[in-house]
Structure 1
């Protein structure tokens, strides 16, 4: 997911939290498996398996982009309810990052800290619960070399209260030192601190370079997390999706419902507030209406919501794991309804064709580094 960096404050913090061990979801079986009624898929050529849909925790604790620039106890309880509802509905894959909700991005409380708290409370009720956690290293300009990756990872583990994390990703390409960052990912695997590694916001060229550098050490590059939705299909057009398919790298799709624009919640008369309102303007939402109308019609045929249709559209692309952000339990439950069924090929193609008639929204410039 994208992030906003505005401070040189160090993310390292003293930590005396008790370390929790979360049971990994991994298998030697390369076929999809079923757990709690939901299908799981392997991330790339790694042994790590995740539910076909995950939950993004970008909004948890954030006040710079989400939550109308505020964070309070009510929002925290809603995030906790979203976490529990996700697990209750068979979604056990959660994605966070060290900068989500941190002071470096004008946040109120670290998303990692909240997620760690939620895991601990859930495990106290159900010690056997299986949770897969992904977090990310921020390639900040003042971080140099492979050791900076390990240092940041250990700080993330401290905030999460875990002894290892399932998936560790480079949040975006660094201004320099990318080879060292990739080496740091490999070191993290070899030291047993992570089970799989990935990148985020990587172009086709950078993706291939990272794949080759890790491959020389016998370590698979499991994933590339990029902005991908029905109305933002840059990964299809810039070679990233094709490269992922060719190299056996799973594409993790952030902003899969276009930050709410594809849910039908917003209209030209009721655009989103805050920074999203500058992207999804009344003019854009007017052009979007014909597509939203057709999404609703298709959803009605399946007794599904627009949100469930557009998430299913991404899943139908194969080798794609969408991670919509859940602010509350109701959203988490709705996301789960995108699983267990499939749009037809004709419907998939029709929606892509309709979406192609709309000028695409602007993505995050970070993708083009």
Structure 2
């Protein structure tokens, strides 16, 4: 079996695998074409592969698939029976005027998941309407009620996460995590202070889109004779334009060279780069079928060298 390292969710006391699984795509028909490109059976198989490999940390949200992601995760958990660590998120939507709406949303997430407590409950993005302090006060109430083990934020700047951290400290509750976009094609957490703040405050950085929706796997390279066509919603994402993918070629070539040395894939190297960057980082690549789940597990049990890390840093400087 692959040796899966463990990492801490900040100072919460919760240990998770060094690699989690993001399940934004589960049940999402609008963006990911659930029911056409993949099915409930595909998701069940992906779930089993993940648990067989020791990857039992799943990140979902109330808005993923309009709640379907949480329902599918709950179904998989009950069918399989093995324990998992669940992270979900509250969405501070425009029609939610009060932080108290979080408690109602939390109850609905618990019902969809079919559990009595969520391990990590996060604020999905900052809300100017509600404000950081009221949201942290309500998160503390959720912890005290026993419905949540640990709390985190998502898409918060360094300044915003420090504010959240200080507010939670009033209740002697640590800020466990900040979930942000982080990959070789988006290294902003290194330059905007978020990674430094996570190190200083002992907050986990949960890295979403670590493979950039497939771009870092190499299957969309413009140099491929059998170049994968850009279909669906990806057609409207600037990063998938031909011009942007041409800019990525030096990075993709570096990934390819390192992958050959280790007998790995480009995507596995890209995930390993994140894992080796800092012990506070927990990447959460998606997996909506068996093949993707197996691909993710191949990022574990080995390490790129410090020299290879530097090569990738240099090749991805455009995205700092």
Q: Which runs of 5+ in 2 are unaligned?
A: none
Q: Within 2, Cα distance between the matches of 1:351 and 1:36?
A: 24
Q: How does 1:179-328 map to 2 (within 5 A)?
A: 179-268=133-222, 269-277=227-235, 278-279=237-238, 280-318=240-278, 319-328=280-289
Q: How does 1:333-344 map to 2 (within 5 A)?
A: 333-344=294-305
Question: Residues 48-107 of structure 1: CA distance to partner in whole angstroms, max 9, x if unpaired?
Answer: 11000000000011122223xx525952211111111100111000000000001xxxxx
1:148/1:184 contact within 8 Å kept: no
Pair 1:176-2:136 in alignment = no
Q: Within 1, Cα distance between the matches of 2:200 and 2:234?
A: 34
* Change over 3 Å in CA distance of 1:355–1:134 after alignment to 2: same
1:55/1:91 contact within 8 Å kept: yes
Q: Within 2, Cα distance between the matches of 1:235 and 1:241?
A: 5
TM-score by length of 2: 0.93
Q: Match for residue 31 of structure 2? A: 65
Q: Within 2, Cα distance between the matches of 1:60 and 1:95?
A: 11
Pair 1:347-2:308 in alignment = yes
* Change over 3 Å in CA distance of 1:346–1:326 after alignment to 2: same
* Change over 3 Å in CA distance of 1:200–1:120 after alignment to 2: same
Runs of 4+ in structure 1 deviating by more than 4 angstroms, as ranges, are none
Q: How does 1:91-110 map to 2 (within 5 A)?
A: 91-102=55-66, 110=68
Q: Match for residue 110 of structure 2? A: 157
Q: Within 1, Cα distance between the matches of 2:319 and 2:9?
A: 32
19, 31, 50: which one aligns with 1:86: 50
TM-score by length of 1: 0.81
* Change over 3 Å in CA distance of 1:270–1:248 after alignment to 2: same
1:56/1:323 contact within 8 Å kept: yes
Q: Within 1, Cα distance between the matches of 2:245 and 2:43?
A: 28
Q: What is the CA RMSD across the aligned residues, in angstroms?
A: 1.7
Higher helix share: 2
Aligned residues: 312
